[in-house]
């Protein structure tokens, strides 16, 4: 399978690239370029787009839980999943059987609807995930969502000539460490977000909406600007980190708990951004003071969408 591979500042249509410390970020979308490229919506995958964890789902569904638990403390997660794929191959399990397992992965219908709506509105949708290319693409293909995403930045994977699924780290730490203490060695989502920021055409102003749940989503959250938005899943690690030190986050925070809330809040923000741009234009000084952390407090009333708590440094 050929894919557009994103490696640092490089993009090429190849099987895999091992340059620039970023082995692969698949360019999975096949639809028309987004018409409203001024709004970039960046999704985590596990426990954000899907309700659970794709790695854990495959391990459990394919009967590998005992071996996984035995090896959990001995290997980094990415290497451990590679070991699980080796075990499946040794048992005679095929990539097609793994793909069939992935088709059964639960995905909330309102999250699927939110993705399709955001795409239809012309937003540039991307995924930054510590899962892997094969798992993500198979799930999205089955759900009819793959073409909604312009790029997917994740750990590369492919089926080799023997039929074994192989998984590699996004950042190859044996070549060059990414140097971020907040992120695992195989993927710094903050560096990926920096790349997305830097890839904007000259003179084009873009607003970002970042959705995530885990500890790995905290680094990119800290890099968001005061014109951006972050949507942490309530009572998950990212939410805990944000609310433990709210003054560190410049972006406006909108928490969510389930698919209905994600859809409602995301589409509200997409609808809200053009209005803000028409008021403030391209003058950064008209935005909220970057020394404020803006926390959205979710309540059931319609007015909740306009209630913003500013916490000064």
The residue from 9, 46, 66, 271 that is catalytic is 46
pLDDT tier for residue 307 given thresholds of 50, 70 and 90: very low
Q: What is 224-281 written as a DSSP string? A: --TT-EEEEBTTSHHHHHHHHSGGG--SEEE-B-SHHHHHHHHHHHHHHHHHHHHHHT
Question: Between 174 and 57, whose confidence is greater?
Answer: 57
| pLDDT tens per residue across span 118-136 | 999 999 999 999 999 999 9
Q: Is 240 a catalytic residue?
A: no
Q: Domain boundaries in the chain?
A: 3-57+104-312, 58-103
Percent of the chain past pLDDT 90, that is, above it, reads 66
Taking the CB of residue 297, how many other CB atoms lie within 10 A of it? 11
Q: Is 172 a catalytic residue?
A: no
Taking the CB of residue 166, how many other CB atoms lie within 10 A of it? 17
Question: Between 65 and 4, whose confidence is greater?
Answer: 65
The residue from 44, 53, 124, 217 that is catalytic is 44
CATH class of the domain at 3-57+104-312: alpha beta
- The predicted model scores a pTM of 0.80
């Amino acid at each position: 399978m050929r894919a557009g591979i994103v490696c640092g500042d490089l993009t090429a249509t190849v099987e895999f690239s091992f340059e620039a410390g970023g082995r692969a970020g698949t360019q999975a979308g096949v639809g028309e370029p987004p018409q409203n490229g001024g709004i970039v919506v960046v999704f985590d995958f596990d426990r954000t787009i899907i309700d659970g964890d794709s790695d854990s789902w495959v391990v459990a569904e394919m009967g590998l839980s005992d071996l996984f638990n035995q090896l959990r403390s001995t290997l980094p997660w990415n290497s451990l999943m590679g070991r699980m794929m080796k075990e499946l191959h040794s048992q005679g399990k095929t990539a097609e059987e793994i793909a069939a397992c992935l088709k059964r992965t639960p995905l909330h219908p309102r999250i699927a609807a939110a993705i399709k709506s955001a795409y239809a509105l012309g937003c540039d949708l991307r995924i930054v995930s510590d899962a892997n290319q094969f798992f993500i693409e198979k799930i999205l293909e089955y759900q009819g969502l793959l073409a909604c995403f312009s790029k997917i930045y994740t750990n590369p994977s492919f089926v080799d000539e023997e039929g074994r699924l192989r998984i590699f780290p996004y950042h190859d730490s044996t070549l060059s460490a990414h140097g971020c203490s907040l992120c695992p060695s195989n993927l710094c989502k903050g560096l990926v977000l920096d790349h997305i920021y830097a890839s904007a055409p000259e003179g084009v102003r873009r607003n970002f909406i970042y959705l995530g749940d885990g500890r790995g989503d905290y680094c990119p959250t800290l890099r968001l600007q005061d014109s951006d938005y972050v949507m942490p899943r309530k009572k998950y690690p990212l939410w805990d980190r944000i609310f433990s030190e709210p003054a560190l986050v410049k972006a406006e925070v909108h928490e969510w708990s389930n698919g209905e809330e994600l859809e409602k809040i995301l589409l509200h923000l997409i609808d809200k951004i053009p209005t803000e741009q028409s008021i403030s234009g391209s003058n950064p000084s008209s935005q909220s003071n970057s020394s404020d952390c803006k926390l959205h407090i979710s309540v059931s009333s319609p007015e909740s969408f306009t209630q913003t708590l500013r916490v000064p440094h």
